[in-house]
Amino acid sequence: MNAKHPSVSRREFLATTSAALLAGSAAATKSTAADSAGAPKLAINGGEKAVKVAVKRARRWGDLERERLNAMLEQDSLFYWKGPQTTLALERYKKIYPLKYAHTCTSGTAALHIAVIAAGIGPGDEVITSPITDIGTVIGVIYQQGVPVFADLGACTFTLDPADVERRITPKTKAIIAVHLCGNPCYLNALKAIADKHNLILIEDCCQAWGAKYRGKPIGTVGHIACWSLQDTKHITTGDGGVVASNDERFGPILQKCGDKGADRLKGGGFQMFATNYRMNEPTAAVLAAQLERLEGFASKRAMLGNLLTEKIAGIPGIRPHQVHPEDRCVYWFYFMRFKTEAFRCNRAEFVKALAAEGVSCSAGYISVPLHREPVFQKHAFFAGHWPVREMGLTTMDFTKHQTPEVEAILQNGIRFTIHEGMTEEYILGAAEAVRKVAKHYAV
């Protein structure tokens, strides 16, 4: 049996069980909340809500952070180099992520920019990545005068499709940035094999994947360079911040100067290379050191909640749950599922509205269009209305013609569920019941 495609018998089994469950709940509420067909009345039509518990965001910081910040106040310098908070934060980070070289920086965008500087991405070099991501994934590529090349994604994994990545390789390709979207690990073995075969650098964008694991290994440890964000919406945060790390002797030793104006603080020697200032200060590192202590708790809770949702909505006709490899840990920065338009009498917006009325925290889609369909890409206008590498003939990239069909479909029929560590199993069970109820109501 293929793990990605549950056998028909399992699907049938789930369908039968769910029908029985639904019949049970319908019977229990028949006199008060059932419609003429005997199905439970939707909350949007005045029925009882499927979600019966309130959801509260857990406290994200407290005594652990206070203790570190108090220690920081006793220092006479708040500069990062050899700073006690930065040192402690990186020590704790390396316990979770066994990478020899790790550096703090100001954002995920900064971490990714440092990574492409270290990787030697230069004018006209192509970097293959995902078009469903934060624009920070490619800002550094564009600043180094590289060319982002957007590949298509797996239909329900929402991560790079290795076959499509390989199709887009040209003699100019220098790197792949694998985005672990939603905290779901990419097909790293396949991507690493492609990178090795074509002599490419594999950069992992782990910004949405704090605590995720690929085949039991912490995310960020398979590729050549890994990048994390500590922006306020991520699993752990310092408000803004980032980490960049590597085990590779070609890149690891230069990460520090690639984020610190090109200055090598260990060896000195003036400015041997060009880079900007992405240094994280000690107050921020103090918060990071404390947040790292909270990471495993947050990550395991989110993984459990997301997996439970998948288990409970499996087999609903027209709904395709978030697909995660059974040996991986997805940390669900959010939960994404696909809505098969042709299976329902309503459109996605109406479906989401009905779910929200049931008490589910959800929304339609994620970013509105693939990155390359944003105006700044369509106009090729990155630098004061110009894109020098194109004007100089170093690339023929035309973002108005770039196509990623599965990505378009994902953004048109994806439904996004909020998952966070303050949620309970009871909430997830209610949310799953809501999906079942709304799907049944609108089924064709």
What is the total count of residues that contact ligand PLP (CB under 6 A)? 14
Helix (H) or strand (E) holding 356: helix 348-357
Is the Cα dihedral 351, 423, 187, 326 positive or negative? negative
Nearer to ligand PLP, 107 or 221 (CB): 107
Closer to ligand PLP by Cβ: residue 115 or 423? 115
Asked if 288 and 116 count as a contact pair (C-beta separation under 8 A), the reply is no
Residue 400 beta carbon to ligand PLP: minimum distance, rounded to whole angstroms: 24
For ligand PLP, the closer of residues 175 and 319 by Cβ is 175
**Location of structure tokens 């290379």:** 273
Which positions ≥6 away from 262 have C-beta within 8 Å? 271, 272, 273, 274, 275
Per-residue interface string for the shown chain with ligand PLP, residues 117-146, x marking contact by CB under 6 A:
----------------xx-xx---------
Site track for ligand PLP across 77-116, x = CB under 6 A: ------------------------------xxx-------
Residues 6+ positions from 364 with CB-CB distance below 8 Å: 348, 349, 352, 414, 415, 416
* Residue with Cβ nearer ligand PLP (228 or 427): 228
CA distances (Å), 247 to each of 221, 224, 251, 336, in order?
Answer: 8, 7, 8, 32
- Residue closer to ligand PLP (CB basis): 419 or 438: 419
Asked if 395 touches ligand PLP (CB under 6 A), the answer is no
Query: What are the structure tokens assigned to 388, written together?
Result: 């020098």
Q: Using CB under 6 A, which residues numbered 242 to 261 contact ligand PLP? A: 242
Binding mask 172-211 for ligand PLP (x = CB under 6 A): -------x-------------------------x-xx---
Residue nearest to ligand PLP (CB): 108
Q: Which residues, listed in sequence order, are joined to residue 329 by a DSSP beta bridge? A: 213
Residue 407 contacts residue 370 (beta carbons within 8 Å): yes
The number of beta carbons lying within 10 Å of the beta carbon of residue 416 is 17
104, 157, 221, 231: which one binds ligand PLP (CB under 6 A): 231
Residues of this chain that interact with ligand PLP (CB under 6 A) are 107-109, 133-134, 136-137, 179, 205, 207-208, 229, 231, 242
